[in-house]
Amino acid sequence: MENKRNIWLDADPGIDDAVAFAMAFANRDRLNICGLSSVAGNQTSERVTGNALKLTVFLGAEDVPVVQGAVLPLLREIVPAGDIHGKSGLGYCELPSVEKKPAAENGILFLRDTILGLPEGEKMTLVPTGPLTNIALLLKTFPEVRERIDEIVLMGGSGAGGNVTATAEFNIWADPEAAQIVFGAGLPIVMCGLDVTQQCILTREQILGLYQSDKTVQHAYGEMLRFYLDSPSYKGSDGAAIHDAVTVLYLLHPRLFAGKRMHVEVDCSEGLNRGMTVCDMRRSQLQKPGDVLVLNQVDLPAFQKIVLDTLASYDAVSE
């Protein structure tokens, strides 16, 4: 796997997770995708695991192992985001049934074995785009993996304002205790939070263009994304944010993005600030060892072009 970056996807697909998968699977010449674990979040564990299995097959990545991870947050009850992602989790899109099954019964153990099974000298980049339950369980249960983790590039959090509440982003709010474990682990972290992801939109015209396409993959993603436009968060808006795709595009095209390093804590209290990522932006506190790189800028035209061109590339191969 020379010159390839070892990555593990951890997700709750989820429309924007599905876009992130498409970005990753189209770049397997640069990314060694070691596996994919599901986590309850956007929908129940059963539904998101089924979506992960279907998406790997649909996108020609049937060989990527899929495992089921946590079915519940560490301490909280699950609150699926069906109003944003639909009953199935993939909006209006109905993917074909598949025979593919999870690669193992215990997803966290499978992830641990995969990390420790890497060739000597190689490390894993973890790419979580859902609640951080699986990553927290991994770090707490198998601390021996820490030295084999290169970095964690996650979608979650916000330096200023939330989406599920006034102060919290959904993935962190869904399992704040898990998020605090991950942010407090002392590992290199890139936070692709709302500060940058809310800038990373596809316009209504771009989404409808995908939906109106007669090409299989582009139309399917148009069906997914069109659900966003009808959801309470985006109805009447000019477009929709493709949050989770930012993680993979950062790995592939880091120069598209900019950010600042800062210390991040997670509010695990009950009430108004549950799940808030408290980003210490004071000048005196910046650039300390172990701080998180919080992305906050993007080259939007380049982001949009890469997403649309990548989706089109699947249909070009099938023609």
Whether the per-residue pLDDT at 79 is higher than 90: the answer is no
Is residue 296 over pLDDT 80?
yes
Q: Give the three-state DSSP class for 235.
A: coil
The answer, yes or no, to whether residue 301 has pLDDT greater than 60, is: yes
Check residue 77 and give its pLDDT.
86
pLDDT at 81 over 70: no
Nearest alpha carbon to residue 41 among 126, 172, 107, 131: 131
What's the whole-number mean pLDDT along residues 208-218?
Answer: 97
Question: pTM for the complete prediction?
Answer: 0.95
Which has the higher per-residue pLDDT, 285 or 161? 161
C-alpha pair distances (Å), 114 with each of 48, 103, 195, 251: 21, 12, 32, 20
pLDDT at position 234, please? 84
- Whether residue 244 is predicted with pLDDT greater than 90 in this model: the reply is yes
Active site residues: 243
In this model, does residue 233 exceed pLDDT 90?
no
Residue 145 DSSP one-character state? G
Distance, in Å, from the CA atom of 42 to the CA atom of 84, rounded to the nearest integer, reads 8
Q: Distance between CA 193 and CA 78 in Å, rounded?
A: 21
| CB proximity list for 109: less than 8 A, separation 6 or greater | none
Write the pLDDT tens digit of every residue in 39-48: 998 889 999 9
pLDDT of the residue at 283: 65
| Rounded-to-integer distance, Cα 307 and Cα 214, Å | 18
Tens-digit pLDDT profile for residues 10-27? 999 999 999 999 999 999
Percent pLDDT > 70 in the chain is 95
Percent of the chain with pLDDT over 90: 85
Indicate if the pLDDT at residue 284 is higher than 70: no
Q: Supply 220's token pair.
A: 């399917």
Mean pLDDT (whole number) for 247-269:
96
**Sign of the torsion formed by the C-alpha atoms of 273, 274, 276 and 282:** positive
What is the mean pLDDT of the segment spanning 221-226?
97
Residue-level pLDDT at 282: 76
Give the pLDDT confidence of 111-163 residue by residue, as tens digits: 999 999 999 999 999 999 999 999 999 999 999 999 999 999 999 999 989 99
Could you tell me if 229 and 201 are in contact, meaning their C-beta atoms sit under 8 angstroms apart?
no
Give the pLDDT confidence score for residue 1 in this predicted structure.
41
pLDDT tens for each residue of 162-183: 999 999 999 999 999 999 999 9
Q: How large is the average pLDDT for residues 290-311? A: 95
